[in-house]
Structures are given as C-alpha cells and as structure tokens.
Amino acid sequence: MRKKLLITLAMVLIIPGLLFAVSCAKKTIRSETSLTQQAEDEAAAEKAELARQQAIEEQRLQEEAELMAAARNMFLNEDIFFEFDSAVLLAEAQTILRKKAEWLINNTEAAATIEGHCDERGTNEYNLALGDRRAESAKTFLMDLGVKGSQLSCISYGEEHPVDPGHNEEAWAKNRRGHFTIN
C-alpha cells in the first residue's frame, strides 16, 4: 500500500517535472532561434518597406517633376494666335492663357516674357506696334486672372521672327502669335 502511494507520488511529482523539464528545455531553444530570426526578418522587412517607400517617393517626385516639366513645357510651347491686324484674344487663346495663369500663380518665383509677333503682310513699323498690342493684351488678361504684374514683361518682334517663312495663309496664321518664355 505504501509502495503504491510512493509510485503515485513519484508519478505526480516526476512526470510533470519531466514534462516541465522537457517543455522548459524545448522552449528555451526555440525562443533563442526565433528571436534572432524575427529581428532579421523585421529588419529586412523594414528595409524593404523603406526602399519601397523611397521608390514610391522617388517615383512621386519624378512624376511631379515630369508634371512640372510638362506644365512648364506647355507654358513655353503653347502659343496663342491672333486674327489679321488684331490684338483681340480669341476664345482658344483665352483657354490657353487660363492655363498659363494657373502655372504662373503656382510658380510665383517664375518671371515670363510675352513675345508679340505678326505675319509679313503688314508693314514693318506698324507690325512692331501691333506685336506690342498683342503682348500687352495677353499680359492684361493674365493680370486680370490674378497673375502678378511683376512676373510679366512684354516684347514685340513685329514681323521680324516668323516661325514659318512661307508666304501663304497657313504660314501667316502660325506667325500671328503670342509666344511665352521664362526669364
């Protein structure tokens, strides 16, 4: 009877002890490996995340730069056109000027020159004055849209700088223009 009690006691004490010992040992080993692993994983993930973030940021910046460049190029490349012997801004010219105003308002550090040009049909002197009127009417329109006058200057080239040297209506239409440059 006493012997049976001892065995039972031993069972009660040892087995859980064993069990404890086993589980304890096992746990120690596992926790060592998993900790380093986890740290490595986390660092890698963090790095990857950082790289990803950086890439996104770079891409964003690049896209932004591209957009800005595109906006700038559009500002520079999109001419406005006039009718013969007229400095009146046509609807299409006004649409283009609205975009230009937006760009100038977003880029207050930029200063632009508006060039007024004419076709070859008029006489040289009058065309210098007409080119001046064309540049001035574009400037007034931009200022009415909120562009600072200090950002804008005007110059007339009259008929002296045609983009198309042709002697036909197609060429003349291209040459009756307001062109923008950034100083």
Partner 1 sequence: MKNYQIKTICLIALASFMIGTGICGAGYDYIDITHPFLRKIPIAIPVFKKVYPGDATERLSGTASDLLAETLDFTGYFKILDRDAFLVDMQTVTSLANVNFHNWTSIGSELLVTGGVLLQGDQVEMELRLYDTFKEKLLVGKRYKGLIKDQRKIVRRFCSEIIFFLTGNKGIFNSEIAFVSNSSGNKEIYICEFDGYNPRQVTHLKSITLSPAWSSEGKWLAYTSFAKGKPDLYIKHLRQKRGAVISKKGTNITPAWVPNKFALAASLSFSGDPEIYLLTGTGKIINRLTKKRGIDLSPTWSPDGKQMAFVSKRSGTPQIYIKNIASGVVRRLTFQGRYNTQPSWSPKGDKVAYAGMSGRNNIFVIGIDGQGPIQLTHDHGDNEAPSWSPDGSLIVFSSTREGPSRIYVMTAYGTDQRRLLALQGEQTQPDWSPGMGNR
The binding site for partner 1 (CB under 8 A) comprises 85, 121-126, 128-130, 132-133, 136, 154-158, 160
Give the bridge partners for 81, in sequence order: 177
Closer CB to partner 1, residue 80 or residue 87? 87
**88: its two tokens:** 């009146």
Q: Which is nearer to partner 1, 78 or 136 (CB)?
A: 136
Which residues on neighbouring strands pair with residue 115, listed in sequence order? Answer: 155, 179
Least distance (Å) between residue 84 CB and partner 1 = 9
Render 53-116 in DSSP notation, one character per residue: HHHHHHHHHHHHHHHHHHHHHHHHH--EE--TT--PPPHHHHHHHHHHHHHHHH-TT--EEEEE
CB of 79 to partner 1, least distance (A): 19
Q: Which is nearer to partner 1, 101 or 143 (CB)?
A: 143
Q: In whole angstroms, how close is the CB of 130 to partner 1 at the nearest point?
A: 7
Nearer to partner 1, 93 or 114 (CB): 114
Identify which of residues 37 and 181 has a Cβ nearer to partner 1 in the complex. Answer: 181
Cα–Cα distance for residue pair 19/13, rounded to 1 Å: 10
| Minimum separation from the CB atom of position 168 to partner 1 (A) | 13
Decide: residue 135, CB within 10 A, 0-12 exposed, 13-18 middle, 19+ buried: buried
- Please give the Cα distance from 8 to 167 (Å, whole number): 118
Least distance from partner 1 to the Cβ atom of residue 173, Å? 17
